[in-house]
Structure 1
Amino acid sequence: MFRHRRAVIYEPTESAGQAALGLPRFQWGEAQAMETSRQERHHEWRDQWEMFRDEAGFLFQDWILPATLDSFANKEVLECGCGGGHHTRIMAGVAARVTAVDLNTAELARGRMTDFANVEFVDADLTTMELGRQFDVVVCIGVIHHTDNPDRVFEVLLRHCRPGGLIVVWTYSAEGNALVRFGVEPLRKLLFRRLSRSKLAGVSRVVTAMLYPVVHTVYRVPFLKFLPYFEYFANFRRLTFERNVLNVFDKLNAPQTHFTSLATARRWMSSDRLDQGSVSIRPYVGVSYSLVGRLKP
């Protein structure tokens, strides 16, 4: 479908100009001069995506609903937070072009996408980036809740979407995640962040193995639907063991997580820049929200 060549990566520097980079690019300019507005790089994300692959394509298609892969067909797509490039690959198969941005893993993802000619990788901070262009579709899957300032990131997403373009966001919800917020998160901050990534992966495998007997027995009983994570564990049963290990590792490895409340999701999607007739705020398996909307023409 595409002429094969090496996917390219652009990394902004204070001295490099837009012309030299070949693409209207994010700059560390005066508008972004406050150090407090810049996110730190976190080795945890590169470590995670060097150790794991995510090949559960059905999840991506679930998370973007009511959008579909057809929504990306022949479009210019901006992916905000590409991780290891797993979703980049899915979109690149149908999109005209994908610009994939990540502060920590752009180089890693580029190395996995050399068979696609229609992908560019950008090393930039989602909270402050200014690429100097707009896109048909702007996608942020599983990333906005890990940023320093989700509100600011959502504004950046809107700014990079062209009039009539599509915004797609998937984010952890505050609702339905009490166990992770008040149980797992304190343990992560107190204990798990001190472990090496290899030891944390070992812990994640043990935890995953311990979940299997419960998830495949108790969580199959229909009249126990009131149990926390009942819907979530239905997906757990569809995934491979390694993919479930990744889910657990992700919860224990993330340097920070801001769980998105329904009130916040509604506030984001009530922007006067969005066509309110196109807006969808959809809970997903009781622990996350899929947010989809189209900008006004």
Structure 2
Amino acid sequence: MPDLKRQTISDFGEQWTAFRDNPGYYGSADLLADLFGPLLTLDDVRGARVADIGSGTGRIVNMLLDAGADRVVAVEPSAAFEVLKANTTVNADRIEYLQVPGDQLPPGLGLDYVVSMGVLHHIPVPEPVVRAAFAALRPGGRCVVWLYGFEGNETYLSIAVPLRKLTVRMPHRMLVALSHLLEFALTGYIWLCRILPLPMRSYMRSVLAKFPRSVRRLTIYDQLNPSYAKYYTRAEAEALLSDAGFADVQLYHRHGYSWTVSGTRPAESRGQSATGDINEH
């Protein structure tokens, strides 16, 4: 398992060194609001102290600062660390950079929020990362994570899982070329979703249709590149936070295909979590 963790970190170091840009809607605070759904608003972030676990190219860091966060702790273990710093120079005075894995986020930081968008599902053993997030929060602080979901992805996974057995072994240039080819099919599928009730229609129309084609190619590459990827069931997504001691655990089935999960560090003790769903309408 440690070798798989190191390989996945290496995969993302190569990926985010090659794909550095975060154009348009892909890098906007509006997309951050879509990721949070009803569990957290951009106004909640204003003036807050936040850690972002798995900062990559700095996309989420810049989103948080654009939304008005006071300070952001940017955590990125891979070779993309220099890209992260280069992409956030305008706001560097409001950022603390840590080139460490998420489980090494220091305790006792008294943070208002810890977020991790699209990262924990690439960590073979994510529990130490969630415990580190708990320890870094102030009492009453909240952790918000976004995860690939199993529910709603069954058709997609029937194609992607066999394909990934090949693509995780492909050289970078070959995978880039394949991503270019598959993007034509994806663009056609997005167009069909305008008129047909196809799987993942909401996500295709509300998110991917707003991305430039370069970002759609990156999205395909991102699905096929990492050595490890897990698609969480609702129960697994809930347990990820509740087992670490978070209370008031809530889940949002984003566009019917992924999970945004929020939990609060109790004010007095770890306590027992209450849970609830917030479904998209």
TM-score, normalised to structure 2, is: 0.83
Tell me, yes or no, if structure 1 residue 40 matches structure 2 residue 40: no
- Displacement of 1:47 in angstroms is 2.1
Aligned mate of 1:50, from 17, 20, 24: 17
Query: Max radius of gyration: which structure?
Result: 1
- Displacement of 1:50 in angstroms is 2.2
- Displacement of 1:271 in angstroms is 5.0
Equivalent residue for 1:252? 224
- Displacement of 1:121 in angstroms is 1.3
Deviations along 1:52-111, one digit per CA (max 9) or x if unpaired, are 223312322211122122222222111111011011112123222111111112232012
Tell me, yes or no, if structure 1 residue 71 matches structure 2 residue 35: no
Tell me, yes or no, if structure 1 residue 143 matches structure 2 residue 133: no
Equivalent residue for 2:194? 220
Q: Describe the shift of the 1:272–1:246 C-alpha distance in structure 2 as closer, same or farther (beyond 3 A).
A: closer
**Cα distance between partner residues in 2 of 1:268 and 1:192:** 28
Q: Is contact 2:131–2:244 with CA below 8 Å preserved after alignment?
A: no
Question: What residue identity is the alignment partner of 1:92?
Answer: L
Corresponding pairs, count: 255
**Cα distance between partner residues in 2 of 1:68 and 1:188:** 35
Q: Describe the shift of the 1:38–1:102 C-alpha distance in structure 2 as closer, same or farther (beyond 3 A).
A: farther
Deviations along 1:34-57, one digit per CA (max 9) or x if unpaired, are x95993153321222122223312
Question: What residue identity is the alignment partner of 1:203?
Answer: L
Q: Describe the shift of the 1:296–1:132 C-alpha distance in structure 2 as closer, same or farther (beyond 3 A).
A: closer
Equivalent residue for 2:274? none
Question: What residue identity is the alignment partner of 1:195?
Answer: M
Structure 2 SS opposite 1:216: helix
**Cα distance between partner residues in 2 of 1:216 and 1:130:** 42
Question: What residue identity is the alignment partner of 2:117?
Answer: I
> Equivalent residues in 2 for 1:1-297 (5 A)?
36=2, 39-40=5-6, 42-52=9-19, 53-55=21-23, 56=26, 57=28, 58-66=30-38, 67-93=40-66, 94-104=68-78, 105-116=80-91, 117-126=93-102, 128-134=103-109, 135-189=111-165, 191-217=166-192, 219-221=193-195, 224-225=196-197, 227-234=198-205, 235-270=207-242, 273-276=245-248, 279-297=249-267
Structure 2, unmatched stretches of 5+, are 268-281
Deviations along 1:180-226, one digit per CA (max 9) or x if unpaired, are 4342123222x212322122112111101122223213x222xx42x
Structure 1, unmatched stretches of 5+, are 1-34
Question: What residue identity is the alignment partner of 1:39?
Answer: K
**Cα distance between partner residues in 2 of 1:181 and 1:86:** 26
Same amino acid, percent of matched pairs: 26
**Cα distance between partner residues in 2 of 1:44 and 1:107:** 15
**Cα distance between partner residues in 1 of 2:190 and 2:4:** 41
Question: What residue identity is the alignment partner of 2:139?
Answer: P
Aligned-CA RMSD value? 2.2
